[in-house]
Amino acid sequence: MNADKMAKMEVKTSLLDDMIGVGDMVLLEPLDEDSFINNLKKRFDHNEVYTYIGSVVISINPYRSLPIYTPEKVEEYRNRNFYELSPHIFALSDEAYRSLRDQDKDQCILITGESGAGKTEASKLVMSYVAAVCGKGAEVNQVKEQLLQSNPVLEAFGNAKTMRNDNSSRFGKYMDIEFDFKGDPLGGVISNYLLEKSRVVKQPRGERNFHIFYQILSGASEEFLCKLKLERDFSRYNYLGLDSARVNGVDDAANFRTVRNAMQIVGFMDHETQSVFEVVAAVLKLGNIEFKPESRANGLDESKIKDKNELKEICELTGIDQSVLERAFSFRTVEAKQEKVSTTLNVAQAYYARDALAKNLYSRLFSWLVTRINESIKAQTKVRKKVMGVLDIYGFEIFEDNSFEQFIINYCNEKLQQIFIELTLKEEQEEYIREGIEWTHIEYFNNAIICDLIENNQTGILAMLDEECLRPGTVTDDTFLEKLNQVCATHQHFESRMSKCSRFLNDTSLPHSCFRIQHYAGKVMYQVEGFVDKNNDLLYRDLSQAMWKANHSLIKALFPEGNPAKINLKRPPTAGSQFKASVATLMKNLQTKNPNYIRCIKPNDKKAAHIFNEALVCHQIRYLGLLENVRVRRAGYAFRQPYEPCLERYKMLCKQTWPHWRGPARAGVEVLFNELRIPEEEFSFGRSKIFIRNPRTLFKLEDLRKQRLEDLATLIGKIYRGWKCRTHFLLMKKCQVVIASWYRRYSQQKKYQKIKSSTITVQSYIRGWKARKQLRELKHLKRCNEAATVIAAYWHGTQVRREYRKFFRANAGRKIYEFTLQRIMQKYFLEMKNKMPSLSPIDKNWPARPYLFLESTHKELKRIFHLWRCKKYRDQFTDQQKLIYEEKLEASELFKDKKALYPASVGQPFQGAYLEISENPKYKKLKDAVDEKIIIAEVVNKINRANGKAASRIFLLTKNNVLLADQKSGTIKSEVPLGDVTKVSMSSQNDGFFAVHLKEGSEAASKGDFLLSSDHLIEMATKLYRTTLSQTKQKLNIEISDEFLVQFKQDKVCVKFIQGSQKNGNIPTCKRKNNRLLEVAVP
């Protein structure tokens, strides 16, 4: 909160400050209907939508959002006196909450007004304020959240769009919020009254059914709609009015998501939510069932369902046998003692049964929802609780066509008006007695006579309606009206054209089928049509039993009377008697609590902002009895205020009380009023409050205070300006003294600096002259000493040279040369020590030669160092590594720059055993046949001598033999001693072909030489070379040529290698050209 808002909040101490119009109607002068309306209009035009009548709040619906409900506003009204700030619903909420918390008084907040006046929003604001100011904590926050989230659920199922209101509550709601001793919420209990279930099957033109139907169709996913057997198109359902299916500014899809989230927060389980929506879908689909007439043989008419597809889907949703439900729509069974009579239903009766089932199903679902919510939000502890009740109920209704619903609603409002007058007078009387003020009787209209007309147990309208419904024989609305005309004809508040009272016989404004009641809010004409049926609220027993037979747990629970084991032949209570009992319970509950009233007014019928229809507001003021309320409040004393705030507000009007009064507040107020010479009949002193009889007296005090505040403001301004000027003068004087002292100091500092600078300059010149003089003397002395030293040195040198001339000439040159050479060599080696390269054998860096005569030494040293670091590197090898490097070195000597395949083999380690002979059971026979160590085992391709085609063979090299074996069977095909191998031939190209030449005349050479192909040619040739050298002590001849001769039995064949692209990619191919030529194509 910024500083401006803080300042404003601190300054404002009464609703009389900066008042637009009159904030409290009790202070209105003159008091009449026109001034009352003008005051409301003036405040409404300035966005002041709240006005007081004493402790009653008048709320005018602005039809737009106003910035007066922010968290800052909540804090502003928190723990403040009721009359301390501008009128606001938060002030009443805070007063009620603090009375409950601090004084341990149960509270109730009664919110009344007609449809569209903002009752539902007012109840939300009250609950949100209480939730904001009460305690914090995880458990408390959860309770608050559940209480607040119960609203969206009940609004979705109980509210609808009407001509007067887009979110009209079509049921009455009373919520008891329970608190602990600290004022933290523990839970709540909700009671609902008279849901307008007739809206389920029929809505007036321009209005909608209950919100939940449109929300499901708009917001549910396609998959969810499919489960409910619904379609998104509103026009598919007869129970939904199409002319107002869409409402501007209302997002049904978003509201559906809000409702599902709210149900989850309140505590509905997933299967419960699913069951609820299944029942809603069933109600919606019931409206699509249509009937057709059909004549029976006995001449009676009966009805049949036209299209049974809708019935089938309803039965699938609810788990009801289709034949059972179909029969319930076509027949009615009447039971009397031990007899059962079954009659057929004509089309009109079938439609009545269908609509009755839809209404009952939805009404009972709504009651179940309220009960289920109560289970979730009820207090979990057994401790004593404080209770705050919030009543949001329909206001007084006067339509063009008023029926049973309006009659019941207006009866409820009569009872609320009765308790309002009684509690208001009671509160006034208690305050007068508490303060010791004499109580005077107040004349007011007591509407008990109207309530008695409606609810009297013998002659009341409800009693006669119940009697008519229970009477045997033909019962119609006309017979009911006739009975009313007989019993109520002489009642002064009952009017009927057919009554015995002759004064209404010629009243053309009163039709014959209507009666009129003069309520406290005005006359209302009721059409008697439908009173009997709506009061009966009849649902055929066949339908109840069909619902009880459903496999749907929720539907079965909604119709307990359908259980055949619990058949009750007693007629169920009528709607009127049920509502009368509920209202009696409500009134009894309200009388045990301290009442707080919010009267809601609708400014116009267009639901538009900034429009104030005086005629409409006047009508509401009359039927809400607001003027009478003001008169009751003003009877005796119009204004009362505790002594402390009164003295604090008006103490500046008396010199004795200004600025501080040291004694008791009451004594100060007495001194103040005596000083102002206010007539004694205009005020009275209570025990803790001052009572002012006439508003004019209060306004006189306010005018005097305003004038005095202006005088005080002028005086304060004068004193402030004088103080400011004196302060400014003293500050300027002090500044002048400071500036003068600083200037004088600065001036003296400058003068001193100038003298000091001049002195230093003179001193520097003198010191410089002395220093230069001394320098000249020292230089002269130094030159003299140097000259003497030089002369002496030359003289001593001459003497020495004369003495040692013969020695110097014989040895001095050689010794100097040796010494110089020694120093150069020493320096060279020391530099080499610091510039030595790394120990890596492949590092070719070497320091540059410093002297030309060291050329050979430098090269030799480089060679020795390289040999030494190679030795150091080799010493790190294991025996296995040495063997590998020896083989690699041997391969380098044999094939480097000779065989194109060699570079690719350098990076490949020589493994030798490429076949796991010892581990593979396939080669067990081969392993048993070879008892020597196998040096290399590899699969090679043996070239056929006849056609050049290849055959896979296993090539084995042992210490003494070369063996070729069959790859599949492991059978040894050839075994050649190493001594019989004379030469190995291969090409210089990138191929794996090689020929193993055998010694002529040997046993193995009988079939000729071997022409083989291998992927590891370099390794095989190297190992064969080293093994032969090791065993025979003779080097094996390795011939590398692109043409060589191979002995095939008795013939010698030339193997020629050529370049060319191959169809097989990069694989060399061998082809027999003729008897003497075998051609190998290498890619």
Q: Among all residues, which ones are annotated catalytic? A: 115-116, 120, 165, 168-169, 395, 397
Which residues neighbour 396 within 8 Å (Cβ) at sequence distance 6 or greater? 112, 114, 409, 410, 413, 519, 521, 623, 624
CA distance 127 to 122: 9
Name the nearest CA neighbour of 605 among 101, 115, 18, 72.
115
CA distance 23 to 21: 7
- 107-112 and 386-392 strand pairing: parallel
Strands (E), 76-133: 107-112
Per the listing, tokens 């009275």 go with 684
Backbone angles phi, psi at 1080, to 5 degrees: -110, 120
Contact 1042, 1057 (CB under 8 A): yes
Strands (E), 230-364: 291-295, 301-305, 331-336, 339-344
Contact 923, 939 (CB under 8 A): no
Give the 3-state secondary structure of residue 755: helix
Which amino acid is present at 124?
Answer: K
Other residues' Cβ atoms within 10 Å of the Cβ of residue 379: 18
Which residues neighbour 68 within 8 Å (Cβ) at sequence distance 6 or greater? 47, 88
Name the nearest CA neighbour of 914 among 879, 974, 957.
957
Give the 3-state secondary structure of residue 902: helix
| DSSP summary character for residue 24 | B
CA distance 160 to 167: 5
H-run or E-run covering 86 = none
Name the nearest CA neighbour of 910 among 928, 940, 929, 885.
885
CA distance 574 to 975: 118
- 594-601 and 107-112 strand pairing: parallel
Contact 48, 38 (CB under 8 A): no
Per the listing, tokens 């009017």 go with 495
Contact 78, 70 (CB under 8 A): no
Sign of CA dihedral 489, 495, 500, 501: positive
Contact 179, 140 (CB under 8 A): no
Contact 1068, 993 (CB under 8 A): yes
CA distance 656 to 677: 14
Which amino acid is present at 149?
Answer: Q
CA distance 427 to 453: 27
CA distance 68 to 121: 14
Contact 1024, 1036 (CB under 8 A): yes
CA distance 421 to 597: 11
Q: DSSP alpha helices (H): ranges in 436-491?
A: 448-455, 461-470, 477-487
Per the listing, tokens 């359902």 go with 237
Name the nearest CA neighbour of 941 among 1066, 849, 1067, 1056.
1067
Q: Print the SS3 string covering 997-1013.
A: EECCCCCHHHCECEEEE
Name the nearest CA neighbour of 633 among 1052, 23, 26, 207.
26
